[in-house]
Amino acid sequence: MQAVTETVENMAFSVIEPLESLPDVAGEVIAASLTVLEPKPAPIRLLMPVPTARALARSLYNSEDPDLTQDMLTDVAGELLNMIAGALMRHLLPPDTPFRLGLPEIKFEPVVPNKGQESAWAFTADGQPFIIMADDELVKE
């Protein structure tokens, strides 16, 4: 939770709050995923409703909604996931342990956690929900 909170607050100057349970993220969503390549292959995913991506993009690009393109929204989701994954690995691994991340892949479709294989954490960024999911092999050691 600390890796996510610090990353999003520093990146988008948004107030981040953890949620007790996973929110319903029905509607149009952006699903970003990347694979930790080293030290252990494992996926990390982000599920973000488009309104959340728009709110973060407005802050990052200092732009109004009509000026935001789909490419800008996917860039925000991909970069956010990349930064969260890096922060998560720095928190999980001993200091100075190298790691490698794959490139984010973006889709506009809902994703659900793989229960029993994946941990999921929900947050709001200035009241807008998003979910981070990580392979249990990565985070439960």
Which pTM was predicted? Answer: 0.87
Please tell me the distance from the alpha carbon of residue 37 to that of residue 3, in angstroms, as a whole number: 19
- Yes or no: say if 132 and 87 are a contact pair by the CB < 8 Å rule: no
Could you tell me the residue ranges of all domains in the chain? 2-139
The domain 2-139 is classified under which CATH number: 3.40.1550.10, 3.30.360.10, 3.40.50.410, 3.40.1190.20?
3.40.1550.10
| Residue pLDDT tens, the chain, 141 long | 888 888 887 777 778 899 998 887 777 899 999 999 999 899 999 999 999 999 888 888 887 777 788 898 999 999 999 999 999 999 889 999 999 999 999 988 776 666 668 888 999 988 889 999 998 888 875
